[in-house]
Amino acid sequence: MGSHALNPIENSEIDISHYTNPKSNIRHPKSKTIFELIMVNICLVEDEQKVAAFICKGLEENGYTAKAAPNAAAARSLLQTAAFDLLILDVMLPDTNGIELCRQIRNTDNKTPILMLSALDQVQNKVSGLKAGADDYLVKPFHFSELLARIEALLRRHNGSGEEEHILIFDDLKLDTWSNTAERAGAQITLTAKEFTLLELFMRHPNKVLSREYIAEQVWKIDFDTGTNFIDVYVNYLRNKIEKGFKNKLIHTAIGMGYILKSDK
Ligand code: CA
């Protein structure tokens, strides 16, 4: 028996017809991917209608969902009714200024990434904005590509490697990356180091298809050789440990694409 003899047991299969490298949480223009299922919502607070319309249109063309609020009051009520992944606040607003609005938002314990916009190229404005809890600052006028780059960076920082949670929870699975313990429905699961790293990778990217290449690179720090099936073998080791005795499957095969951590319920 050669190394190809182990066949992955595809205990759960779903058809994912689009795939994007999960390293980037960002959708690219016009490319429909699995991430279309997870829309990135952006709220723009800007009173200049033309500017707001231009930015919203550009964001939508780049696969984001954008809502605009013309003043701080409208922004506050919008934030109460919808969840956003990112906020863009203009400093000059007719009611409360953007810096103060940013401070108010942070005071409500809202940790959504905030990008401040200002026509005033003043260091003081930037410092005040960042002190008020903004994550980044962009001076008007700007190239739209720069706005997109800042947005992507903020989303990546927020969703990924920046401040990593050490307790990860998905469905009834719980992983503690400090004590290196894993449990499902309160029962301890014993994992090898690689299985643990693999599960952590899935739990940091729930509901996203992870390609074998990506898994190999992230867990084994190697380039994936398509001639081997060790990823499938390890995924099945992991499945046996976390799914045995449970009706709800968590790691699903995305045929021809890779694997996805997804609740079966
Ligand atoms: Ca303005």
Distance 237 CA to ligand 1 centre (A): 55
Q: Are 250 and 173 in contact (CB under 8 A)?
A: yes
Tens digit of pLDDT at every position of the chain (265 positions): 443 433 333 333 333 333 333 333 444 333 334 343 457 899 999 999 999 999 999 999 998 999 999 999 999 999 988 889 999 999 999 999 999 999 999 999 888 999 999 886 667 777 888 889 999 999 988 999 999 999 988 988 887 644 567 889 999 999 998 888 999 999 999 999 999 999 999 998 888 889 898 898 888 887 777 777 889 999 999 999 999 999 999 999 999 889 999 987 6
Nearest alpha carbon to residue 25 among 220, 216, 254, 205: 205
Q: Are 102 and 114 in contact (CB under 8 A)?
A: yes
Which secondary-structure segment (H or E) carries 172?
none
The separation between the first and the last C-alpha atoms of the chain, rounded to the nearest angstrom, is 38
Distance 71 CA to ligand 1 centre (A): 9
Please report, for the chain, the start and end positions of each structural domain, with discontinuous segments joined by +: 34-159, 167-261
Distance 52 CA to ligand 1 centre (A): 9
What architecture (CATH level 2) is domain 34-159? 3-Layer(aba) Sandwich (3.40)
pTM given for the model: 0.52
Distances (CA, A) of 104 to 75, 80, 86, 260: 11, 13, 16, 38
Torsion of CA 10, 15, 17, 18, to 10 degrees: -70
Q: To which residue do tokens 């590509």 refer? A: 145
Distance 88 CA to ligand 1 centre (A): 11
CATH number, domain 167-261? 1.10.10.10
Distance 133 CA to ligand 1 centre (A): 19
Q: Are 98 and 45 in contact (CB under 8 A)?
A: yes
